Amino acid sequence: MKSTRRPEVIIVADERALAETAARRLLARVMHPNARAAVCLTGGSGPEGLYRLLAQEPCRSALPWDRVHWFMGDDRFVPADDALSNMRMARRAFLDRVDINPANIHPIATDAASPQAAAELYEAELRRFYGAGGLRASRPLFDLVLMGLGADGHTASLFPHAPALHENARWAVAVAKAGLEPFVPRVTLTFPVLASTREMLFLVGGRDKRDVLTRVLAGDDLPAGQARSDGDLVWLVDRAAAPEESHAS
């Protein structure tokens, strides 16, 4: 699966600028007059700065909290209060710090009988939210999908060589074996569902991401490079993570 459009790469000074730029883009994406907006969150270290900003002024007052629904692109199959939980991280960073209708938060049910059962439940929830029928590019499921980049090139819980990379029918799948730490089972949305967005925004910061980011942007066959978007596809990176040649100018 290839990106339908050329990705835009935006390089900012540092982690702080990364979080601020992401917050501005998120606000712009949810500020439409429709009754509901939907944001798909991600785990990992990349989005934490952004999440904290969302609960602080000026974002706190600017966000239409009653209209925005928060989903999770992937989660680790651990109890909701486990330190490894992506949703726990998002809750602690911002969702628990604002006045928000609990019905607007859509966690993956990691207390289900199995990762497979949790994936099925999440798919059913997303389908309900979207309404009847299959996904149409003209009516994306999400307004914004946030993505991270792992050291091995994975994104969401879509790891190199995993069968989940080629899943086109299901909206969410169980990942029995993670390709990278933490080695716990996961549940992940699939590429076609993540693609159903007005904007997919990768957040990549820090020197330790530079090598893998260089490979992805050069077109190496890595999961993050396979991600596509029905809308815009943006890589927001800080200078430490930016490929060598972008430092030359």
**Nearest approach, Cβ of 115 to ligand 6PG (angstroms)?**
13
Q: What is each CA distance from 4 to 52, 58, 195, 198, 225, in whole angstroms?
A: 32, 34, 10, 13, 12
**Nearest approach, Cβ of 67 to ligand 6PG (angstroms)?**
25
Q: Which residue has the tokens 């706190």?
A: 60
- DSSP label at 182? S
Residue 124 in 3-state DSSP?
helix
The pairing of strands 199-204 and 144-147 is parallel
**Nearest approach, Cβ of 43 to ligand 6PG (angstroms)?**
3
Residue type, 19: A
Question: Shortest Cβ contact with ligand 6PG: which residue?
Answer: 148
Length of the chain as a residue count: 249
What is the spatial order of strands in the sheet that 199-204 belongs to? 8-12, 232-238, 199-204, 144-147, 37-41, 68-72
Select 46 or 231, whichever has its Cβ closest to ligand 6PG.
46
**Nearest approach, Cβ of 45 to ligand 6PG (angstroms)?**
4
Q: For 161, left (φ over 0), alpha (ψ -120 to 50), or beta?
A: left
**Where are any strands of DSSP class E within 90-170?**
144-147
* Structure token digits, residue 25: 């883009």
Contact footprint for ligand 6PG (CB under 6 A): 42-46, 74, 76, 86, 148-150, 154-157
Select 45 or 116, whichever has its Cβ closest to ligand 6PG.
45
Select 81 or 99, whichever has its Cβ closest to ligand 6PG.
81
Alpha-carbon gap, residue 131 to 102, rounded angstroms: 20
Select 11 or 62, whichever has its Cβ closest to ligand 6PG.
11
Select 31 or 151, whichever has its Cβ closest to ligand 6PG.
151
**Nearest approach, Cβ of 22 to ligand 6PG (angstroms)?**
13
Residue type, 148: G
Select 155 or 196, whichever has its Cβ closest to ligand 6PG.
155
**Nearest approach, Cβ of 47 to ligand 6PG (angstroms)?**
8
**Nearest approach, Cβ of 230 to ligand 6PG (angstroms)?**
20
Residue 49 in 3-state DSSP?
helix
Select 27 or 184, whichever has its Cβ closest to ligand 6PG.
184
* Structure token digits, residue 108: 């993956």
